[in-house]
Structure 1
Amino acid sequence: MLRATALALACLFGSHAVAAQAPTYGEQLEGFSQPYPLKHFDFQSQGQTLQMGYLDVPAKGKANGRSVVLMHGKNFCAATWESTLDALSQAGYRVIAPDQIGFCTASKPAHYQYSFQQLANNTHALLDHLGIRQAIILGHSTGGMLATRYALLYPQQVERLAMVNPIGLEDWKALGVPYRTVDQWHERELRLDAEGVRNYERKTYYDGRWKPEYERWVQMLAGLNQGPGHKAVAWNSALIYDMIFTQPVVYEFKNLKMPTLLLIGDRDTTAIGSDIAPPEVKARVGNYKVLGPQVAGQIPQATLVTFEGLGHAPQIEEPQRFHQALLEWLGR
């Protein structure tokens, strides 16, 4: 009996200790361990000096002279491309992974007119600064929407376009998902914590599954949101959600002119705002098993690779399988 009581108390206090030890990071993710040296790009935008953090990884294998730009998702950062940075650099590519304004290691401005055009322009300025005139663009999740906009704005500078479970394969607002104001998004983001992130990602991204290696990215996001920049991070996150919801790219996929790869985990159910949608609307949005082939049919030079049984981030769930498909397509 005493032993059982002692064990229960140890578990209780142990859980409190883990909670107390949960990491927090600075407003630009200061304190987080990056997979490669973090660099910074300072530039002028909308009347203010802003900064993007980025990872620039040279080819580790025999250099092929080609560059790949990785665009992260809403709940992700440049660092979450860790295994893809490794795989591409080993295959001879130079790989650049920026953090967009409002995210991760980048500035969190008090006032900013967010648009995918603006973020694409910022990224273009970074690549110009690095002397990169043409690149392969690879976007994941929200980064897929940004990659699409980038390719539409700068078609001559995009050698190829690849998207991993991009959101924006449908127009949620047009399908009946209710609108949230920026203030409503802000209130929601102020409450963000690790448990909420973990539960959401398990259910929506990973089809109910969970692996220990996902936890680092949960703590990264929660630690950023609960750190000293809490208010600025939440406010920028709210502005970004409004951008995502109100600026669909689905109507312009037909205008993409370059070879395009869609890498789709078919168990993904991500759809912005579906948590407040009526049941009949929620049932018909975020169905990537249907959306993948549907959008591939709209893009003139599309190749579709479906990862059966995988969710929103196949590059994290099964990196070897994912990178094999990506590198095979890039090598054609």
Structure 2
Amino acid sequence: MSLAFSRWLPGLLLSAALPALAYAEGPEYGPQLQGFEYPYTVKHFAFESQGESLQMGYMDVAAEGKANGRSVVLMHGKNFCGATWDTSIKALSKAGYRVIAPDQIGFCTSSKPAHYQYSFQQLATNTQQLLKALGIQKATLLGHSTGGMLATRYALQYPEQVDQLAMVNPIGLEDWKALGVPYRTVDQWYERELKVTAQGIRDYERSTYYDGRWKPEYDRWVDMYAGLAKGPGKTQVAWNSALIYDMIFTQPVYYEFKDLKVPTLLLIGTSDTTAIGKDIAPPQVKAKIGHYEVLGKEVAKLIPQSSLVEFPGMGHAPQMEEPEKFHQALLAWLSKTNSVP
């Protein structure tokens, strides 16, 4: 197993209050996000999986000042990348933590294999191999959105290697298929992903993630996602995205929250309404899914050693909406539940 190195390169803006304004389509990026700038140097972990030679992009940021000897692994969401953790990496590093922020296979700066059986177990295994190669035996996990589902699976799969688990507006706090959301085939997801545009991403995120609000700094992340989706590798990006959506929909972690054995923090923006397949759900189903002001409280009761911090009025990414408030809550909990390294 080898560690190979490389790096890449962002940008843009607009105002929230004028929904009628068209969003200018931004730049195009390569299949591994070549051309988009990350906040820290991107390295690549080379490994074999399912007969494929793969590369997993990641940032490994040392603690600033006095190191506390602890590591935090950041797990990004479906429409996000390691780069979107920029303010969290800075806050955690400043607090003395070593921070590892990987891009999972199929995402961002990592490989987009033509044939890959996606599962949260496989992604957890890939991440565990990366941490082993980096000499990290035990870590705290912080997962956002889909990364919350992955962090949950990782903590269930490798409980002895996890100090603490924190999740930011994780999806999968409910089982959509069991609640009546129709199944989309991989081919249907693929056709949908081929049509992704910056305007569509922005409209979806503003309505679903941010309760109708928008900040100019979010446009950088729209450009990132849209630029990857329309770049020279757009078909392989769309295909991997389709496989990943199928994984998310068909592999719930909801039923296993009760089995978590580590201290767990739920950080919930209560205005979030994210739910996979909501756009094709019957009206009666659509009305009852994606209510984070309820889901956070319900799941906190299922997890044995849980704590819940709610951010009233915030959406899907409180770490991006109000970084200072978010990191104050996160760091206070990490400090309070720290075990001896």
TM-score (normalised: structure 1): 0.94
Whether the 8 Å contact between 2:24 and 2:199 is mirrored in structure 1 is: no
**Partner letter of residue 53 of structure 1?**
G
- Asked whether 1:123 is paired with 2:111, we answer no
**Higher normalized helix content (fraction of residues):** 1
Shift of 1:174: 0.1
Out of 311, 316, 321, which is 1:312 matched to?
316
Report what 2:329 is aligned to: 325
SS state of the match for residue 305, structure 1?
strand
Matched with 2:276 is 272
Distance 1:211 1:17 in 2: 13
Counterpart CA distance in 1 for 2:319 and 2:62 is 20
Match of 1:236 in 2: 240
Q: In the aligned structure 1, how far is the partner of 2:215 from the partner of 2:115? A: 38
Instruction: In structure 1, give the amino acid aligned to 2:33.
Output: L
Q: Name segments (4+ residues, structure 1) moved above 2 Å.
A: 15-19
Alignment partner, residue 212 of structure 1: 216
State whether structure 2 residue 75 is matched by structure 1 residue 34: no
**Mapping of 1:1-332 within 5 angstroms?**
19=25, 22-332=26-336
Match of 2:15 in 1: none
- What one-letter code is carried by the residue in structure 2 that aligns with 1:25? Y
Amino acid of the residue matched to residue 328 of structure 1? A
Which runs of 5 or more residues in structure 1 are unaligned? Answer: 1-14
Q: Structure 2 stretches of 5 or more lacking a match?
A: 1-20, 337-341
Residues 18/258 of structure 1: CA separation in 2 closer, same or farther (3 Å cut): closer
- How many correspondences in the alignment? 316
Deviations, residues 116-169 of structure 1 (Å, cap 9, x unaligned): 000000000000000000000010000000000000000000000000000000
Matched residue, 1:8 = none
Quote how far apart the aligned CAs of 1:17 are: 12
> CA separation in 1, counterparts of 2:80 and 2:168?
13
1:61 to partner: Cα distance: 2.6
TM-score, scaled to structure 2: 0.92
In structure 2, the CA distance between the partners of 1:16 and 1:213, relative to structure 1 (3 Å rule), is: closer
CA distance in 1, matches of 2:273, 2:135: 38
Percent identical among aligned pairs is: 74
Letter in 1 for 2:75: M
Task: Quote the RMSD (CA, aligned, Å).
Answer: 1.1
Distance of 2:226 and 2:73 partners within structure 1: 26
**3-state SS of 1:257 partner:** coil
Q: Describe the SS at the equivalent of 1:111.
A: coil
- Structure 1 residue 258 displacement after superposition: 0.5
Which letter does structure 2 place at the counterpart of 1:106?
S
